[in-house]
Structures are given as C-alpha cells and as structure tokens.
C-alpha cells in the first residue's frame, strides 16, 4: 500500500479559490466514475457478469466542509480542507455479493494512476453499530490547463443489503440527532446480523448456481 500522499504544492490558497477547488473535486468524481464504468464494462465483457448494481456520487458542500473543519479545530483554508477532509468527493459502489467488493477494490487499487492512501475494512471488522462497508481513500491526478492536482476521493463499496441497512440507520439516527434510545441501537445491531446472514446465504447460493451451470456444460 502506498504511503500517505505528500501535500500537493498546487493546492495552495494563492493558486486555487474555493470555487476552483470544488471544480477540481468534481473533476475527480467524473474521472473516478469513468474508471468504474470501464472496469464494469470490461468485467462484463470478459466474465459475462456485471458486478456493480449501481453507483452513487456526491460532493460535500462548502458549508459542510467548513463545519467539519471547525468541529476539528481547523481554520477554513484550502490547505486544511485538502489535508484533513478525505470525503469531499465520494463514490459509493453497490455490488451484488461480498466477493464482488474485494474484487472491485483490487481492480481499482491496481490502476496505475490511482494511489491508495488508506483502507478501512468494516466488513471484516464491523463498527459497534453493526455498520459494514469497505472504504478506500485514493488519490487521482486531475490535469488542469496549467498544473496537475492530485485529488483525494473516498470510495465506499458494499452490497445491496449493506447499503439498505446503512441508509436506514442514517435516517433513524438523523431523527434522533445521534441520541437514539438504547433499544433502537440494539435492534439495529440485530438487523445488521440478519443482513450479514443474508449476504452469506446469497453468496453461497450464487456459487452453487455457478457450479451447477458448470457441471451442465461439461
């Protein structure tokens, strides 16, 4: 895994405005989206199988960025934004099976112009809440008219079931402003276990189907 990216000299307040920074992050999101589309098309062509169900992209608003920086005690400068905010540009890839998650993560990590900065595997090591997902922070070069800007993108890869659970958990906790009753947290953890069992069962069923088809073709 690559070491943490050095601070990019072109991410300087004097060289780039906040609007310019948002332009660069949007460009990074487009670049990453194109790469994911190409990998998906290649996989479908080679294996006659589509590992990606759908992709969601989002850019954190300037207001959210400033709020996050102030929450962590940093001034709202572009340098601080680049160094301490890893999730400004975000891509969520939703797959059918858990095996697809690691396959896609490996394919993304092997791209020659992508630098993997960090990985957090919440599938093998779920959060206390029951949250499961595979997170990558990567850097991708964006070529402007007069300079290259290495830009961070957060990638989350999860199954449909994981995404369903995470979306509902977010909505539930948003209603309680982060202070949900204990029984709600307990029930969410139980639901997370059911989601894990469903993912395991669906993966096992898919493998059984592939094996049966292989035997039929022999």
Pairing of strands 115-121, 148-159: unpaired
Question: Alpha-carbon distance 33 to 55, whole Å?
Answer: 8
The answer to whether 24 touches 8, Cβ cutoff 8 Å, is: no
Question: Alpha-carbon distance 202 to 96, whole Å?
Answer: 9
Tokens of 125: 């090591």
Q: Nearest 5°: phi and psi at 81?
A: -60, -45
Instruction: Give Cα 82 distance to the centre of its chain.
Output: 17
Tokens 């300087």 correspond to what residue?
A: 12
Q: Which residue in the list 8, 31, 154, 169 is annotated as catalytic?
A: 154
For residue 154, indicate whether it is catalytic. yes
Catalytically active residues, by annotation: 154
């Amino acid at each position: 895994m690559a070491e943490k990216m050095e601070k990019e000299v072109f991410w300087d307040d004097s060289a780039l405005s906040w609007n310019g920074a948002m332009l660069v992050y949007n460009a990074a999101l487009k670049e990453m989206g194109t790469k994911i589309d190409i990998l998906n098309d290649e996989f479908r062509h080679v294996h006659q199988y589509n590992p990606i169900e759908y992709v969601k992209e989002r850019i954190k608003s300037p207001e959210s960025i400033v709020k996050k920086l102030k929450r962590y005690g940093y001034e709202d400068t572009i340098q601080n934004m680049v160094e301490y905010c890893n999730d400004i540009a975000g891509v969520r890839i939703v797959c059918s099976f858990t095996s697809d998650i690691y396959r896609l993560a490996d394919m993304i990590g092997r791209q020659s112009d992508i630098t993997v900065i960090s990985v957090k595997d919440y599938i093998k090591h779920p959060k206390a809440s029951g949250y499961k997902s595979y997170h990558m922070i990567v850097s991708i070069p964006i070529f402007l008219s007069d300079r290259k800007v290495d830009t961070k993108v957060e990638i989350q890869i999860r199954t449909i079931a994981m995404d369903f659970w995470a979306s509902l958990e977010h909505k539930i906790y948003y209603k309680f402003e982060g202070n949900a009753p204990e029984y709600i947290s307990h029930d969410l953890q139980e639901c997370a276990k059911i989601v894990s069992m469903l993912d395991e069962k669906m993966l096992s069923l898919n493998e059984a189907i592939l094996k049966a088809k292989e035997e039929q073709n022999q």
